[in-house]
Amino acid sequence: MNAVVRPVERALLPMRAADLDAVLLIERAAYDFPWTRGNFADSLHAGYEMQALFVPQGARSALAGYFVAMMGVDELHLLNLTVTTMLQGAGHGRFMLDALCRLGVQRGATQVWLEVRESNARARRLYERYGFADVGRRRGYYPAPAGLREDAVVMSLPLRRSA
């Protein structure tokens, strides 16, 4: 009799140092100016909120995205949210934002903040549809090709506690 293998459900798990090779592959494919291994390792060491997204891949699961966030006194700052390019548009970004906001509420945050490249229209649409509002701009925040700099759009989302 053959055992039935059930696919693993989509899940967010705490990111571990052992995940960094897979995280870096996604990061480097997604961005012209990716975070380094050191950026991720330092964030792990600092105790930032870091979650790895795993999705079914046959009878196993594969790392398909992640987020990194830093908790402040009463706010959460999203530093990086990335989904592997071949799975973008499948709801994984929203799934991670849902988890991020739940985490923020659990930790007593009243607001989520982020910066996003002005040119990253896909991410900006995701954040806007989720309810984030443009609240400012950081001039020359990101590196750009040919030694230039690109502005960041600062976005914010108030967190609501459920009754």
pLDDT in tens, 29-85: 999 999 999 999 999 999 999 999 999 887 788 999 999 999 998 999 999 999 999
Per-residue pLDDT, 160 = 82
Q: Is 115 a catalytic residue?
A: yes
Query: Residues 118, 150: contact at Cβ < 8 Å?
Result: yes
Per-residue pLDDT, 9 = 83
Catalytic residue among 9, 115, 142, 150: 115
Does the residue 4 lie in any domain?
A: no
Question: Over pLDDT 90: what percentage of the chain?
Answer: 83
Query: Residues 78, 115: contact at Cβ < 8 Å?
Result: no
Mean pLDDT of 87-115: 95
Q: Which of 142, 143, 150, 77 is nearest to 110 (CA)?
A: 77
Bridge partners of 78, per DSSP, are: 69, 114
Does the residue 133 lie in any domain?
A: yes
Per-residue pLDDT, 56 = 87
pTM metric for this prediction = 0.91
Mean pLDDT of the chain: 92
Catalytic residue among 48, 66, 127, 142: 127
Residue 136 has pLDDT above 80, yes or no: yes
Mean pLDDT of 122-151: 95
Does the residue 30 lie in any domain?
A: yes
- CATH (domain of 27): 3.40.630.30
For the chain, the domain total comes to 1
Contacts of 134 (CB under 8 A, 6+ apart): 153, 154, 155
Tell me the HSE value of 106 on the side-chain side, using a 13 A CA sphere. 7
Does the residue 28 lie in any domain?
A: yes
Does the residue 93 lie in any domain?
A: yes
Mean pLDDT of 133-143: 96
Pairwise CA distance, residues 91 & 97, whole Å: 10
Q: What is the pLDDT of residues 103-116, one digit of tens each?
A: 999 999 999 999 99
Does the residue 106 lie in any domain?
A: yes
Residue ranges making up the domain that contains 31: 11-158
Does the residue 163 lie in any domain?
A: no
Residue 117 has pLDDT above 90, yes or no: yes
Does the residue 71 lie in any domain?
A: yes
Q: Is 150 a catalytic residue?
A: no
